[in-house]
């Protein structure tokens, strides 16, 4: 058995010195070969032209989620036309390489569509149903699951968001309707309610789980729980595991859908050393992975990291980025970060 403390201590020392080129070969075993569930990442079609990205993805992953090219802002034009070039390329890439396709997202509060803003009343409802059914039906039999509704809970966890969809169909109404339409369109896909900060903010996690409970009691066909797991590395130990125990009580499949763990500090002076930040990061990521491994096997839908290399991360596209954040499993040279070892060891020990 691998001694996690020895390998991780070596990785931490190298990371603290900035010696990523000399990192130990801790990525020799592909994650997909040791995990008894799918390992996923996100993708944009431009990455298919990058042989290093393709090699890293196919070495470690068995599932792919479109990062944004299957979202409404890509597919639906301001005048109501649909475009399929990029999402079709992603679906075809999955077919060619034997990867599971996971679809995201059918309805998202952030998709403030100009086309839907021009509609009202019965026309709005008809087009809402048509959009969900058209997209889900196109990938029926190819997409193993869908984020049907994304980020419905308010930022601070105090209730649900007000958005274009809730204004037209009601805060619970737009959610229920989306799941009903998705179920009609793709009855075999696993249908997820997905959100973020569920581990980071207990209030938000509790509101989210109450929403799941309310929907299930109303007969809404929610088939799974998606937790994005953009982890705050400073949250207290045990908080992530507590959320997973609560979420598991529904018996639904759970998807770690967008894992990353930024080293950046937001809104305060940061006196921590790089080593301290990496220790916090690996501890929180290890706890998350262990909590996922503690689920019954039938509830482990997939474990998806939101990007392959640090330089692929949405966090590195932020205007505030200083080029030093390391939120993913691999660095720019596709060498394993300490976070990789935390995930790998937790999976091995939990099997």
| CATH number for the domain harbouring residue 324 | 3.20.20.80
Q: Cα–Cα distances in Å, from 7 out to 274, 298, 330, 348?
A: 17, 31, 16, 14
Q: Is 258 inside any structural domain? A: yes
* Residues 225, 291: Cα–Cα separation, whole Å: 14
Residue 149 near residue 175 (C-beta atoms within 8 A): yes
What confidence category does residue 264 fall into, taking pLDDT thresholds of 50, 70 and 90? confident
Same domain assignment for residues 163 and 98: yes
Same domain assignment for residues 66 and 193: yes
Percent pLDDT > 70 in the chain is 91
Same domain assignment for residues 144 and 176: yes
Same domain assignment for residues 90 and 118: yes
What confidence category does residue 34 fall into, taking pLDDT thresholds of 50, 70 and 90? very high
- State which of 197, 217, 247 marks the end of a domain: 197
H/E run at residue 303: strand 300-305
* Residues 206, 216: Cα–Cα separation, whole Å: 15
Domain count, the chain: 2
Domain containing residue 72: 62-197
pLDDT at residue 12, rounded to an integer: 47
Structure tokens at 58: 């196919």
Structure tokens at 297: 């096997």
Look at the alpha carbons of 274, 280, 284, 285 in this order and tell me if their dihedral is positive or negative.
positive
Q: Is 212 inside any structural domain? A: no
Same domain assignment for residues 251 and 317: yes
Residue 41 near residue 61 (C-beta atoms within 8 A): yes
| DSSP structure string for 77-141 | -TTS-B--HHHHHHHHHHHHHTPEEEEEEEEETT---HHHHT--HHHHHHHHHHHHHHHHHHTTT
Q: Is 202 inside any structural domain? A: no
* Residues 69, 46: Cα–Cα separation, whole Å: 11
Q: Is 249 inside any structural domain? A: yes
Question: Is residue 15 over pLDDT 90?
Answer: no
What confidence category does residue 129 fall into, taking pLDDT thresholds of 50, 70 and 90? very high
Residue 335 near residue 23 (C-beta atoms within 8 A): yes
CB neighbours of residue 63 within 10 Å: 22
Same domain assignment for residues 148 and 182: yes
Q: Is 168 inside any structural domain? A: yes
Same domain assignment for residues 45 and 71: no
Same domain assignment for residues 237 and 328: yes
Q: Is 293 inside any structural domain? A: yes
Residue 134 near residue 91 (C-beta atoms within 8 A): no
- State which of 175, 197, 219 marks the end of a domain: 197
Same domain assignment for residues 296 and 189: no
The stretch 102-106 carries a mean pLDDT of 97
Question: Is residue 321 over pLDDT 80?
Answer: no
- State which of 155, 180, 197 marks the end of a domain: 197
Torsion angle defined by CA atoms of residues 88, 192, 346 and 281, in that order, rounded to the nearest 10 degrees: 90
Same domain assignment for residues 186 and 277: no
The mean pLDDT value of the chain amounts to 92
Same domain assignment for residues 44 and 76: no
pTM recorded for the entire structure: 0.91
Q: Is 238 inside any structural domain? A: yes
Same domain assignment for residues 161 and 253: no
pLDDT at residue 267, rounded to an integer: 63
* Residues 247, 225: Cα–Cα separation, whole Å: 8
* Residues 194, 151: Cα–Cα separation, whole Å: 6
Q: Is 214 inside any structural domain? A: no
């Amino acid at each position: 058995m691998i001694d996690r403390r020895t390998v991780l201590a070596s990785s931490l020392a190298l990371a603290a010195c900035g010696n990523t080129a000399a990192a130990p070969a801790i990525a020799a075993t592909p994650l997909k070969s040791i995990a008894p569930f799918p390992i996923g990442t996100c993708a944009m079609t431009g990455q298919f032209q990058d042989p290093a990205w393709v090699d890293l993805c196919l070495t470690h992953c068995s599932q792919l989620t479109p990062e944004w090219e299957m979202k409404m802002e890509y597919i639906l034009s301001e005048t109501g036309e649909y475009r399929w070039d990029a999402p079709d390329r992603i679906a075809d890439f999955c077919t060619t390489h034997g990867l599971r396709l996971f679809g995201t997202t059918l309805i998202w509060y952030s998709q403030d569509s100009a086309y839907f803003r021009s509609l009202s009343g019965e026309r709005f409802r008809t087009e809402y149903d048509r959009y969900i059914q058209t997209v889900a039906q196109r990938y029926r039999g190819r997409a193993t699951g869908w984020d049907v509704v994304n980020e419905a809970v308010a930022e601070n966890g105090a209730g649900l968001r007000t958005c274009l969809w809730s204004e037209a169909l009601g805060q619970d109404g737009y959610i229920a309707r989306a799941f009903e339409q998705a179920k009609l369109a793709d009855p075999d896909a696993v249908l997820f309610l997905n959100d973020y900060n569920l581990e980071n903010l207990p209030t938000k996690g509790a509101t989210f789980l109450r929403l799941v409970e309310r929907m299930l009691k109303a007969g809404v066909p929610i088939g799974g729980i998606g937790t994005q797991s953009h982890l705050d590395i400073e949250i207290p130990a045990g908080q992530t595991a507590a959320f997973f125990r609560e979420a598991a009580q529904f018996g639904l499949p759970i998807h770690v859908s967008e894992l990353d763990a930024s080293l950046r500090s937001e809104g305060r002076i940061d006196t921590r050393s790089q080593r301290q930040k990496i220790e916090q990061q690996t501890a929180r990521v290890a706890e998350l992975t262990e909590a996922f491994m503690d689920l019954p096997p039938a509830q482990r839908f997939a474990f998806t990291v939101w990007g392959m290399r640090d330089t692929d991360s949405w966090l590195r596209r932020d205007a505030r980025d200083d080029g030093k954040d390391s939120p993913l499993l691999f660095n720019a040279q596709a060498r394993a970060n300490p976070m990789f070892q935390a995930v790998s060891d937790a999976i091995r020990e939990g099997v």
